[in-house]
Amino acid sequence: MLADARALCPTLAVAPADLAGDRATLEALALWAQRWGPWSALDLPDGLVVDVTGVAHLFGGEAGLIADAARSLARRGFAARLAIAPTAGAAWALAHYGPEGAILHPGDSLDELPVAALRLDPATVLVLRRLGLKRIGELSGVARDALARRFRNHKAPAANPLIRLDQLRGLVPEPLLPVLPVDVPLVQRRLMEPIRHRSLLDQVLGDLCGDLVRVLEGRALGARRLELALWKVDGEVLQRRLELAAASRDPAHIAALFGRKLDDLDAGFGIELARLRAPWTEPLPLSQRDFEAAAEAHGTSLAACIDRLSIRLGPDAVRRPVPRASHVPERAQKWVPPLESESASQGDLPFHARPLKLLDRAEPIAVLYASPDGLPRRFRWRGQVHEIARAEGPERIAPEWWRERSTVRLRDYYRIEDGEGRRYWIYRAGLADDGRGGVPEWFLQGLCA
């Protein structure tokens, strides 16, 4: 093929196709295209679908949105054909075969478009052409059951014009689009002049938080998760995400939490569009707002305190222990986020004395014992010799065979007090003749009160 073409035209410029690069560009473009709507999808190989439900008023109507998109895409060097329609199928048909910048209003007809506008594969288009059906309108002229019988063995939508026709008219749901439009609270600010400085960004962020709080207030909602997206002039999108411990509608609090996340921001040539959305909200009835002055005088609330701690220290740093059904001491508690409710559990037995603190890893101790089965007389821990004055035990804790390997040894726990009154919890792993290893080792696991 290439040799034939070169024989005809020797000066032909040839470049290899970069399919993966095209795909990556399209994915980046899909993310960028979310500036016109909160939801976008790829339409391979060269298309994008953006859900603009309820967004058009931000751009001054659908015509304004189309004009804005055409202008922005042209500025980035893309040749694009745009269309807005109630279904993805109709929008595809208009974008590929309709007039430039078409908007499908209720009552408009698509009958004049060729059948190829139904997103059919070439073989099906050929079949339809041989049947003499060239336009979408002509399909309605044929009895529907005749067509259904003709294509009864074609289950794929791209091979069956009836499925495509129903998708185009919105009679059949198409999994590309959400079934119900999700109306996420969303506010945005388009900036006259790209901003590059942090103080201006803080101002914009404060305005956005104020706007979002008004939107949330109108619906009696509080935000749990917030997403801030900043569109840069060079086409990149910066995203920051935030989760709150409890539903909140306090603009100063939200702005302060985002402020910490913006420290490492690289504005590049400037930010031209900022958007804040709250994808996860919870009902929050109206109440008096918590002013910063009130917090200064009366202290912060628990949720605000935990937010501040986990934003600075990370979510895994702030946790609370809850019991877990296990006999093995280090497994008998697990750590969960601080405001999570505690699941029901069996009460612990009051005659089991447990240490106040547990070492993360039990530390081996060197022991000197009177008899190998008995209690050691003294032991060395962290380079210091402890004389055992009093002891209670053993409390035997067998390994959990349903969780662990069969070679795990049992533990005999002793609560001991040394000559200076220090109280520890030590155990011996295994017995001398249990056949699961050599001489049993001793470990110090807990520090008692």
Partner 1 sequence: MTAVAPSVVPALPAALALAPGGASHAELFASAQDCAGAAFALVLENQRAVPGDERPWLWVQDRASLRQTGRPYRPGLPRALRHRLIHVVTTTPEDALFALEEGLRCRDLAFVVGEMAGNPRALSLTAQRRLSLAAEKHGAVLWLVRVGAQRDLSSARQRWALRPAASLSPRWNPQAPGTPAWHAELFRARNHPPGEWILRDDGQALVAQPTQQSTHPVDLAGAAGDRPLAAG
Residues in contact with partner 1 by CB under 8 A are: 295, 298-302, 304-306, 308-309, 312-313, 317-323, 329, 332-333, 335, 338, 342, 348, 352-360, 382, 384, 389-392, 415-417, 420-423, 446-449
Which amino acid does the sequence have at 195? Answer: I
Choice between 272 and 412, CB closer to partner 1: 412
Instruction: Report in angstroms how near the CB of residue 341 gets to partner 1 at its nearest.
Output: 11
Which amino acid does the sequence have at 162? Answer: L
Structure letter (DSSP) for residue 23? H
Instruction: Report in angstroms how near the CB of residue 355 gets to partner 1 at its nearest.
Output: 5
159: left (phi over 0), alpha (psi -120 to 50) or beta: alpha
Instruction: Report in angstroms how near the CB of residue 182 gets to partner 1 at its nearest.
Output: 34
Q: How far apart are CA 440 and CA 366, in angstroms?
A: 11
Choice between 224 and 415, CB closer to partner 1: 415
Choice between 75 and 320, CB closer to partner 1: 320
Choice between 199 and 384, CB closer to partner 1: 384
DSSP string, 377-413: EEEEETTEEEEEEEEEEEEEE---TTTS-TTPPPEEE
Q: State CA 210 to chain mean position distance.
A: 25
- Contact, 379 vs 358, CB < 8 A? no
Instruction: Report in angstroms how near the CB of residue 26 gets to partner 1 at its nearest.
Output: 41
Choice between 50 and 416, CB closer to partner 1: 416
Instruction: Report in angstroms how near the CB of residue 423 gets to partner 1 at its nearest.
Output: 5
Instruction: Report in angstroms how near the CB of residue 22 gets to partner 1 at its nearest.
Output: 44
46: left (phi over 0), alpha (psi -120 to 50) or beta: alpha
Q: How far apart are CA 193 and CA 271, in angstroms?
A: 8
Choice between 214 and 422, CB closer to partner 1: 422
Choice between 112 and 363, CB closer to partner 1: 363
CA angle 102, 276, 68 (to 5 degrees): 25
Helix (H, G, I), strand (E, B) or coil at 110: coil
Q: How far apart are CA 217 and CA 221, in angstroms?
A: 6
Helix (H, G, I), strand (E, B) or coil at 238: strand
Instruction: Report in angstroms how near the CB of residue 348 gets to partner 1 at its nearest.
Output: 5
Q: How far apart are CA 380 and CA 367, in angstroms?
A: 6
Instruction: Report in angstroms how near the CB of residue 290 gets to partner 1 at its nearest.
Output: 11
Choice between 376 and 430, CB closer to partner 1: 376
Q: State CA 113 to chain mean position distance.
A: 40
